[in-house]
Structure 1
Amino acid sequence: MNGSLFQQMLEKGDYVPRFYAYYYKQWKDYQMPYHQHDSTEIMYMISGECRIDVKANDMEKSVTLKKGEFILLDAEVPHRLIVEKTTSCRMLNVEFGFMESAGKAPSLRQIMREEEEVMFLLNRPFTSLVLVDQEEVYPVLRSLVLELDRRGTDGRTMTHALFIQLLVCIARLYEERERSDVQLSELYIKRCVDFLHQNYDRPIQVKDVAAEVNLHPGYLHRVFRRGTGRTITEYLTRIRMEKAKMLLERTDIPIHEISDYVGVGSRQYFHLLFKKFTGSTPVEYRLQQDRNAWKYGEPK
C-alpha cells in the first residue's frame, strides 16, 4: 500500500505509521525539481520562508510557507521547493506511510473512532494542506523525530504515541480552521444580504456587493452560493420580486412605475421576471388581490 492518508483500507483494517525519512535542512537560493513520494510528507517551516509549488488535477498552485506554518502533502502528489536568492529557510521534514499493526499500539482506525477531528480530517481528501501552527504541532513533531533518531523506525510504542498526538493536533487545527471559515462565510453572506435588502432599488452588480464586503467577486460568488444555494443575482431578483408583489398588493402605485421602485430599469424585463417568478403578469397579479384587505382587516 502507498502512504496516502486517504485509503479506505485504513478505516477497514488495523494499520500504524511507518516512517521513511525525517530530517532538518537549511535551504538558500535553491530550486528543487518536481518530484513525488509514495509517502505522505510534512514540511514544517522553522524559520524564514519559501515557496511550494504543487501539481494536482492538471493544475499548478503555489503557496508561500512562512515561519510557524507547515504543509501536509499527500502521497504521489508532484511538488517542488523554491527558495529565492534573497531568502533562506530552515525546515523539518517527515515522510511516513502505513503498515499492518502488530497489536502493540492503537491503529489509525481506532484513533478515527475515538477522535472526531481525525475522522473529520481523513474523510476530506486533499492533495496538499497548509496550516498555521499554534505552538502545538512543532513540539510534538520535534519529539517524534528525536525519538526516531534514538530508537529507529521499527514499530515502537513511543513513536506510535507521538504520531497519534501529532495527527490529533493537526486534525484539531484543521477542524478549527474549517469552523472559522464557515463562521466567516456566514458573516460575509449576512453583510451581502443586508446590502441587497437596502439597495435593491438601485442597479446592483456583483462587483458592487463584493466591494461592500471587500472580497474578490469570484470568491464571493462561491461563498454566497455555497451558503445560500443561490447566486447573488438570483437572491437579488427574489428580493425585488417579493417587493414588487407587496407593492402590487398594498399600494396604488401605477404598474408601469413599479419596475423603478424595485431597481429593474427595463419595464419589459420586469414583466418577464415577474411572470417567471409568480406565474402571472403584474396586471394579472394586481387584479387577483383584494387590495383593501390589508387596510380594513380586523385590528390587531
Structure 2
Amino acid sequence: MKASSFEFPYSTLSHSPSDIAIRFMFFVQDVGWYVCKPDYRINRSLSHYQIKYVVKGSGYVTTQDRTYKVNAGELFFLDLSQTHQYYADPNDPWELLWIRFGGIQSAYYFELLHAAECPIFQVSNAEQTELLFKQLYDLFQYRPIGLEFIASSLITQVLTQLIISFMDNNSADAISLDMAYPMEIQLALEFIEAHYPTDIKVEDVAHFVHLSPYYFSRLFKRYTCHTVTEYIIKYRLIISKQLLNTTAMSIGKIAQHVGICSQSYFSMLFKRYEGITPKEYRQYIR
C-alpha cells in the first residue's frame, strides 16, 4: 500500500536572515520536522551548518569517507560545505527535527566539538534538547516579534547541550580551548600576550605567524570573534584590572605598563569596555 502524506509528514520552514542577524548572531536558514519514508536519502553539499536531532527510529550518516549509525535521542552536526550523505534505516526509518544555521561562531563550535572527526552526539538531556528543536520549529511557524534574537538564543542552548554532553563523555583536555584554535591563532595569542606593553600592529602579528595581514585578520576574527586590535585592547584591559586590584600603581603608570601612553585615552577605553573609569573600578573592587 502506498504511504499517505499524513503517515510521512515532511515540513521545511525557510527564513531569509537580516544583515544584523548575519553579522552578530546565530542565524537560521531553514528549520524542519520530518517523519521519513524508509527510502529517505540525501547526498549533497550546501552552505552553512546543520544539526539534526533523531526523535524516533534510526539512520546512517556518511561524511569524511566514514559512515555512522545514529539512533533516537542522538543528533548529528554537519558542515554542509563538505560532501555528505544521510539516509533512514529502511527497517526503522527516523523522525528528524533539524536546523540549518550560520553565524560567526558556528565554525568555532564545530571545531571545538571535533565534529569533523565524529559528527554524532548523544545528548545528556534528550527531552530538553528535543524541546529546544520544537521551539525553534514553532518559532518560524508563528514568527513572533524578536524572532531572530529568540532563534539565536535557542541555537546557543542547543550548542550548550552539545558542549555539556561532549565534556561528560570526554576528558577535559579533549575540549581545550587552545586545541580548538589553529596553530597560527595560538601563536598569535601568545605573541600578543608576550608583547602587549609594546606598540603592536596587525602587520607585526601577521608577520610572526607567516600570513598576509588580510588573510590573518579574517582568520583571527573567525576564531576569536574579535579583530586583532580589539583583542589587544581587551587583553591590555585585563592586565590593567589585575594591576588596579593588586598594586598601588597610579593610573598613569598602569596605562604605560600595558602599552597605552595616554592616561586619558586609557581611561576612555576602560570606560567604553568596562562601563566605569579605572578609578571607579579600583574603588569598587576594593
**TM-score where L is the length of structure 1:** 0.44
**TM-score where L is the length of structure 2:** 0.46
Larger radius of gyration: 1
